[in-house]
């Protein structure tokens, strides 16, 4: 993977080692704001998933949705 570039909200969550339901709402707005999950956003979410020790129930469905959007719809060949 390339150089990891985190948005300010993601970087802040990484440092607190915890993801709350409110954090997921914020991340959903941030990641899907332009309708496209970028490679950098997907990489940042993987990093967040690995570093956060305490994750709310809303995290897993959001994480799967965002990463699936990137892998299936953004990465070439799309649709697979």
Collapsing DSSP states into helix, strand and coil, what is residue 18? strand
pLDDT at 12: 78
Please state whether beta strands 54-55 and 18-19 pair in parallel, antiparallel, or not at all (unpaired): parallel
Find the distance separating the first CA and the last CA of the chain, reported in whole Å.
20
pLDDT at 43: 92
pLDDT at 50: 93
Mean pLDDT for each consecutive 10-residue tract of the chain (80 residues)?
59 85 94 90 92 96 96 77
pLDDT at 3: 47
Q: Give the span between the Cα atoms of 9 and 80, in whole angstroms.
A: 30
Q: For the chain, what are the domain ranges? A: 8-74
- Is pTM beyond 0.85? Reply is no
């Amino acid at each position: 993977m390339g150089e990891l570039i985190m948005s300010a909200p993601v970087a802040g969550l990484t440092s607190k080692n915890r993801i709350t339901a409110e954090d997921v709402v914020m991340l959903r707005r941030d990641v899907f704001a332009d309708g496209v999950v970028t490679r950098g956003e997907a990489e940042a979410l993987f990093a967040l998933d690995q570093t956060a020790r305490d994750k709310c129930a809303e995290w897993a469905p959001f994480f799967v949705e965002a990463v699936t959007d990137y892998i299936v719809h953004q990465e070439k060949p799309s649709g697979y």
